[in-house]
Amino acid sequence: MSILDLVLFPDERLRVECAPVEEVTDEIRTLLDDMAETMYDAPGIGLAAPQIGDLRRIIVVDCGHDSEAEAEHKPNLLKLVNPEIVASRGSKKSEEGCLSIPEIRETIKRAEEIDLRALNEHGEEIELSASGLLAVALQHEIDHLNGVLFIDYLSKLKKQLIRTKLNRLRELAETR
């Protein structure tokens, strides 16, 4: 397994409508493993393929474990291919961040519960329902596959402030 380089905002690859995967092959399984390792290393709770420069509909999500004993086995790691939200209910505001937009956290409104269809790493069709943090993470990652970023839900003014902050951070990094 290897840790992949993260694509950072405003890279154009984060704005692409990603292509569906036709067949879940060994190459896809390796990519899923590498994406999971990259997510844990960051650390983050979700990662979408365009964030590592691969423009296919693939995401990994892990919203954590209940105990240290579980931590090693990663029981909550989801590796999803061609994920699709088929139903959503309610709405809830919560704070989000993104590995491609470091240092920025904002409150975003999303569906509270979702039903989702996807292929698992064996190419089998699965259905799952999610609420709470998992529902938020899944909606955030699936947005990435459509070229949508969480800051797109903010007002124009707020987006401008974020752009200014990110430019300042980049300048600081370059002068270091």
CB closer to Ni ion out of 44 and 81: 44
Residue 163, Cα to own-chain centre: how many angstroms?
20
As measured in angstroms, the least distance from the Cβ of 92 to Ni ion is: 18
Q: Choose, from 17, 37, 127, 141, the residue flagged as catalytic.
A: 141
As measured in angstroms, the least distance from the Cβ of 13 to Ni ion is: 13
CB closer to Ni ion out of 119 and 151: 151
Q: How far is residue 4 from each of residues 81, 99, 132, 133, 143, measured CA to CA in Å? A: 18, 12, 28, 25, 20
106 is catalytic: no
Residue 114 is which amino acid?
Answer: I
CB closer to Ni ion out of 119 and 136: 136
Give the residue nearest to Ni ion (CB). 98
CB closer to Ni ion out of 49 and 98: 98
**List of residues contacting Ni ion (CB under 5 A):** 98
CB atoms under 10 Å from CB of 39, counted, come to 26
Half-sphere exposure of 135 (CA within 13 A, CB side): 21
Q: How far is residue 79 from each of residues 15, 133, 163, measured CA to CA in Å? A: 22, 16, 31
As measured in angstroms, the least distance from the Cβ of 99 to Ni ion is: 6
As measured in angstroms, the least distance from the Cβ of 100 to Ni ion is: 5
Cis-peptide into 10, omega within 30 deg: yes
Residues annotated as catalytic (active site), given as ranges: 141
